[in-house]
Every structure is written in C-alpha cells, then in structure tokens.
Amino acid sequence: MHDLKDLGAWLQSNEPAHEMLTPSTLPDPCFTLDGREHVSFSTNNYLALANSPRLIARARQALEHYGVGNCESRLLGGNLALYETLEARLAAVKGKESALIFATGYLTNLGVLTALVRTGQLARAFGYRTRTRWTHEYFSDEFNHVSIREGIRVSGATSLSYRHRDMNDLERKLKASNASIRIIATDGVFSQHGDIVPLPEMLELAERHDAFIYIDDAHGTGVLGPTGCGTTEYFGVSSPRIIHMGTLSKAYGCIGGFVATDEHITRILRLGCPAFGFTSTLPPDQAAAVIEAIDIVREEPERRMRLWENQRHFVDRMPAASFDLTATETPIVPLVIGDEGECARLAAGLRAVGIHVDAIMFPAVPVGQSRLRFIMNAHHTVEHIDRVVETLQGLVSFA
C-alpha cells in the first residue's frame, strides 16, 4: 500500500514527460485547449472523418434507432444485421472472405493473437479429433505495436523477436523453427517509426517457410494504396497466408478493431476467441459511422490526395530546414531527438505557440530514442506546416 503511494507521488512529480492534454474539442486537426485554438500534428484522424457531417448524420440515425449501446455479447443476442454488414464491407476492403469486429484495435490484437494459437484446444473442446499435435511459434518485429507484443505474451506461445524490418534475421529464425504453425506478426505501417513493412519479401519468406502473416494495418487502412485499402493494396499483394487486422479508430474516425481473413479462420475465431464472444462490441452508431467512412474513403479520393500533398510538403520542408528525417514514406514522420529532456522541451516550445506534437518516449520507444512524431492530416494547410517547421527551427537554434 505504502509502496504504491510512493510510486504515485514519484510519478506525479515526474509527470511533465507523460502529461495528458485535456482539450475541449477534438482535433480535425485544429482543436481548442485552454480557450485557445491549437493545431495538432499528432492525431490519427488522418482524413478528418471523425467530425465529418456525413458520419455524424449516419451515427445519429443509428443512435435514434438502436440507442447508445447493445449491452450484450454478439453470441448471446447482441448481434445486429448492421454489424454483419460492416464485417462484409471490411472483408471487401481487404479482399478477404469474411471479417470480425471487436470493441477496439488493442482488444483485437490481444484477443486474436491469443486465440490463433489455441485452435487445437478449441478443436478438442468441440470434439474434433486430429492426430496432429499442433505447436505454434510467433515471429515478431522488435518495433511492433505494444498491443501485438502483449497479445503474443498473453498467448503463452513461444515467440522470437527479429530485428526491425530485417528479412535476413527473420529468415534465420524461421529456418530454425520446428513449430507446425508459424505466424509472423507485423505492423503494416510502424506506428512510432513511420516506415512500412517490406511485405512482398516477407510473403516470399512466408511461402518458403510455410508461415502465416498477421499484419496490423492500423495506420495503413484508409491511407495507403490507390483506393485506401491499406498496405497490401499499396504493394499489390494478396495471399491466403495473410490475416489482416485493422482499427476503426484512425483513418475511419470511429472506434473498434477488426480481422479480415478466410472464412474457416473467422469461424474458429467466432467461437474460440473470448475477446469476441465474451464481451460487448462497438455501439451500433459507431458501426453505422464506419460504414459511412468506408464509403467516403472510396467516394472522396481528394481527402487522401490532400493528405499526401501535405505529407510531401512537410518531408520537403524539413530537410531544407536542416532536419534529418529517418522515414518519409507515410503520413507518420518522426524526428528522432534522442534525449528525453530535449524532446520534452521541444514539444513544450511548440505547444506554447499552439502546435501539438506528441513527444514519444519510453516505453513506446527504447530509452534514448525519444522523438517528435509528426502525423500529417488531410485538413492541414500549407501555413500550418510552414509554421511548425519554422517554430522548430527557432527552438533548436535557441537551445
């Protein structure tokens, strides 16, 4: 009891590094904080859909029809045709036979990564007899999102971490594996690094070593690819070996997560994944709003075009202002600072002039690799971008 109080007091006195903002409006990307207008370079609301009038109208209709929550597991009476429509739409986005939705993206990774390695147990529980004794092994990029790492840890399966995007290291580890089911888990777009998984090379390895790929496309879905379907569309690859995971809380502007895969895997998860069957799902108004978001992503490509124009303007301006960028392929563009104190100082300096950029530090990245993580948005203006670059230049030269 006492130890916890001490820890609480210590955290309070060290809070500035992990301070939580309390704005009075949400970023589109402009928002109000302490009565002042700010612009966010840290929102996942990439296409500014979270407050789109179309999404609001669609959600309002569903709210009035269904109420605010379903209060029931889908297996036990909480199912709606609306959820099934959304799953069919998500499956189509990913070019898969079917999909399953979950209350959040984090829960999706936790639940699915745990369930995928318990299929043998499930089969036996349902009376399915097989002579094969399945063994499972995960192969995980060292910089995968925390929810993937936690899902693998909670699954209890053996797992190996390979060096970030290093296909030689991955191959060495696949070669040495005796597991009967091998699953490579990876971010599509790495959330703290902004780079993209080398998916075609990874798929080649998966084929050579008979492995599945579980791709968390939280930051690719709605953003990458000619029609915004994500990382697989960006590379033009598809394969029955790929299990797609995504969130509804970023480009789609809502809440929830999903997997899209072949029907037989969906069927196993529907019964064998407690994070699907033993909890409630997203409220109906959110499901309706996501369906609208999927339509908008297809019907309004100009939103994605503006996002990419802004991204290009930023990645052109930063080196011209003598800032070295480590990744420039996606709307997530980190500026690695290294020292935690300096990173916090720069973030605070930007905030003082109404610009919000997240200072990403341990445990999201290793100690000494802190960074300002810029996330570009379809509704940024050239003036917003020029202002953040010039302010940053001023802050660095003032150090």
Ligand X SMILES: Cc1ncc(COP(=O)(O)O)c(C=O)c1O
- For the chain, count helices (H), then strands (E): 15, 13
Question: Binding residue for ligand X (CB under 6 A) from 104, 155, 221, 266?
Answer: 104
CB of 221 to ligand X, least distance (A): 10
Catalytic (active site) residue 250: yes
CB of 144 to ligand X, least distance (A): 8
Residue 367's identity, in one-letter code, is: V
Question: Binding residue for ligand X (CB under 6 A) from 137, 216, 292, 358?
Answer: 216
The runs of H, that is alpha helices, within the chain are 2-13, 53-66, 81-93, 105-116, 119-125, 146-155, 167-175, 199-208, 231-235, 263-272, 274-277, 284-299, 301-320, 340-352, 382-398
**Please, which residue, 228 or 257, has the CB nearer to ligand X?**
257
Question: Binding residue for ligand X (CB under 6 A) from 38, 40, 58, 105?
Answer: 105
Interaction pattern, residues 169-198, with ligand X; x per rule: CB under 6 A? ------------------x---x-------
Provide the residue count of the chain.
399
Number of residues counted as binding ligand X (CB under 6 A) = 13
Question: Binding residue for ligand X (CB under 6 A) from 218, 260, 361, 392?
Answer: 218
Give, in order, the Cα–Cα distances in Å from 282 to each of 69, 82, 147, 344.
Answer: 8, 11, 18, 35
Do 87 and 101 contact (CB within 8 A), yes or no?
yes
Using the 8-state DSSP alphabet, how is residue 41 labeled? S
Interface region with ligand X, contact rule CB under 6 A, candidates 100-108, 290-298, 341-349, 389-397:
100-108
Give the Cα-Cα-Cα angle 145, 275, 234 (nearest 5 degrees).
Answer: 40
Check 96, 219, 356, 379 and give the catalytic one. 219
Give the Cα-Cα-Cα angle 72, 74, 78 (nearest 5 degrees).
Answer: 45
**Please, which residue, 114 or 247, has the CB nearer to ligand X?**
247
Tokens of 110: 């936790």
Residues 230-289 that bind ligand X (CB under 6 A): 247, 249, 257
**Please, which residue, 188 or 272, has the CB nearer to ligand X?**
188
Name the nearest CA neighbour of 230 among 183, 193, 196, 265: 196
> For residues 179 and 257, what is the distance between their CA atoms, to the nearest angstrom?
28
**Please, which residue, 171 or 216, has the CB nearer to ligand X?**
216
369 in contact with ligand X (CB under 6 A): no
Q: How far apart are the first and last CA of the chain?
A: 42
Question: Binding residue for ligand X (CB under 6 A) from 31, 46, 106, 258?
Answer: 106
Cβ neighbours of residue 216 closer than 8 Å, sequence gap 6 or more: 105, 109, 144, 145, 147, 148, 185, 186, 187, 188, 245, 246
Name the nearest CA neighbour of 140 among 160, 157, 119, 126: 160
Question: Binding residue for ligand X (CB under 6 A) from 74, 96, 145, 304?
Answer: 145
Q: Which residue is nearest to ligand X (CB)?
A: 105
Using the 8-state DSSP alphabet, how is residue 76 labeled? G
CB of 365 to ligand X, least distance (A): 13
Catalytic (active site) residue 65: no
Check 52, 191, 249, 370 and give the catalytic one. 191
Catalytic (active site) residue 5: no
CB of 381 to ligand X, least distance (A): 25
The residues carrying an active-site annotation are 191, 219, 250
The residue ranges that bind ligand X (CB under 6 A) are 104-106, 109, 145, 147, 187, 191, 216, 218, 247, 249, 257
